A = this chain, B = another copy of it.
Amino acid sequence: MTNQTDITAALAHHIIHSEPNREAIEAARDGVTDFISTALPIAQGAIADSGLVPLKQVFSGTDSLTRSLILGYSGHVLDFDDYHPAFRGHPSTVILPALFALAAEDSSVTEETFLTAYVIGVEAAGRIGLACGPRHYSLGYHNTATLGAIAAAAAAARLAGASVKQTQTILGLAATQAAGLRAQFGSAVKPLHAGLSARAGLTALKLGLAGFEGNTQQVIDAFLAAHGDQQHQPELLVENWGAPWRMLSPGLEFKRYPTCGGTHSAAEAAFALREQWHKHNGADADLADAIEHITVTFPPGGDVAPFIRNATNGVEARFSLEYVIAAALIEGELKLAHFSEAPVETTISALANRVIRRADETAPPDELDPEARFHEVTLHLRNGSTLIQRTTRQETSARPTDLHAKLRQTIGSLTHLDSNQIADRCALRQEGDLRYLMGLLF
């Protein structure tokens, strides 16, 4: 097979030679802001995380590989970082740690080249998600971990100015390291996946640049064949690359709630029901007490990510559809503090125990079209009446997230930091902005 027809070579060519447009670069600034808002409170110790201590004990270096690992972990610990539907995972907490770690040791990196590499990384992430197909996630893989390694390598290759040929090697080195199982959801290994994949991508880059020789052809194809369960479509890796840029369409989704993305539509349905009920019963009435039980329905398989039914602490609660619905109904918001390492709130747990999951067998399976997901929450009240609210994933993702408000929320306890200044720096418009952010992170 010649380079002209090899899909890995074609992908490498796009990674190195394509030029993102201004709109994509602008959108990337929001991605940086969101990443900093989720990673910074962990990196600066504002929110306690018990996994960071043993992780730093085992990985104590300040080399770029170790930095990418720790920062990737830090960005995903709260499970509050961005999501990309074509990737079906969290791209920025894998791509940006690799880029920040690389930039910290290479003074030639500018704000512009950094943002460009980030857009390329997100494009690669979305492309690999599409090409790998829907069965990959269903098999039990954590896309952020598996596909993330390849996306991070793509972004890093662009930032480092690798050649097309080197990038082919680098992509193959990343693909062969791609790993991570969803069975670790609800534990500290989930964010560790992001760190390991950032490091794998950067490892691929460093080996490739150092002249370590790997196979350059059919390596991405082999990855897709092994991981795609016969639903993979390699041609989607390169077809219409950047038209439109995946940074813009479907674009990064910024979480408003510090819980698994698969709970957000259910949370919004619960907020609407809460508002409706209090409107008729007064702001001080006890909604939890009025509820006999709650049902939540969704397409078959639509609850694979938020799989935990009886959460014991806030980390597990992020992945509990029941707990999120109960918290939304009782408090009208999903507080960061409730989804930390502390034990769950007993009042919320009590209501969560009255939530019943039910797959809507008339809806097409979630695996076939996760973008068609909905959550329908029904309150079965003690007075015999019911209140129903159905919210689709599309409605939820279409609502904008106030990134400055999110930044203020997450770094609120870091009183020495000025959220306005950080937000300004995250836009990476001025020379020095990148160094400023790295000074906060490392």
Chain A residues close to B by CB (< 8 Å): 50-51, 53-55, 57-58, 61, 139-142, 145, 172-173, 175-184, 186-189, 192-193, 196, 203, 206-207, 210-215, 218-219, 221-223, 225-226, 229
Contact = CB atoms under 8 A, between A and B. Distances in A.
Contacts of A210: 54-55, 57-58
A174 B120 CA distance: 31
Most chain B CB atoms below 10 A, which of A57, A211, A214: A214
Most chain B CB atoms below 10 A, which of A61, A176, A213, A218: A176
A203 B177 CA distance: 15
A58 B187 contact: no
Given A175-B181, A177-B180, A189-B214, 12 more contacts: A50-B213, A53-B211, A54-B207, A54-B212, A55-B210, A58-B207, A141-B226, A182-B222, A183-B218, A183-B221, A184-B214, A187-B214
A213 B225 contact: no
Contact of A179 (B177, B187, B189, B207): B177
Most chain B CB atoms below 10 A, which of A187, A196, A218: A187
A196 B207 CA distance: 13
Given A55-B212, A58-B212, A225-B139, A193 B176 contact: yes
A415 to B, nearest CB: 30
Nearest to A212: B54
A179 B182 contact: no
A145 B225 contact: no
Contacts of A176: 142, 145, 179-181, 183-184, 189, 193
B207 A187 contact: no
A166 B183 CA distance: 17
How many copies of the shown chain assemble into the complex? 2
Contacts of A223: 181, 183
Given A139-B225, A189-B176, A58 B181 contact: no
Contacts of A219: 181, 183-184
Nearest to A202: B58
Contacts of A58: 203, 206-207, 210, 212
Contacts of A142: 176
Contact of A215 (B53, B184, B212, B222): B184
A192 B212 contact: yes
A213 B188 contact: yes
A32 B322 CA distance: 53
Contacts of A184: 172, 176, 214-215, 219
A207 B195 CA distance: 14
A206 to B, nearest CB: 5
A139 to B, nearest CB: 5
A8 to B, nearest CB: 10
Contacts of A214: 184, 187-189, 192
A57 B203 CA distance: 12
Contacts of A139: 225-226
A414 to B, nearest CB: 25
By Cβ-Cβ distance, the 5 closest A-B pairs, closest first, are A183-B222, A54-B210, A179-B179, A140-B226, A189-B214
Nearest to A136: B226
A187 to B, nearest CB: 5
Contacts of A229: 229
Nearest to A219: B183
Nearest to A226: B140
Contacts of A145: 176
Contacts of A212: 51, 54-55, 58, 188-189, 192
Contacts of A189: 172-173, 176, 212, 214-215
Contacts of A181: 175-176, 219, 222-223, 226
15 contacts: A53-B211, A54-B212, A58-B212, A61-B61, A172-B183, A175-B181, A176-B180, A176-B184, A176-B189, A177-B196, A178-B179, A181-B223, A183-B219, A187-B213, A189-B215
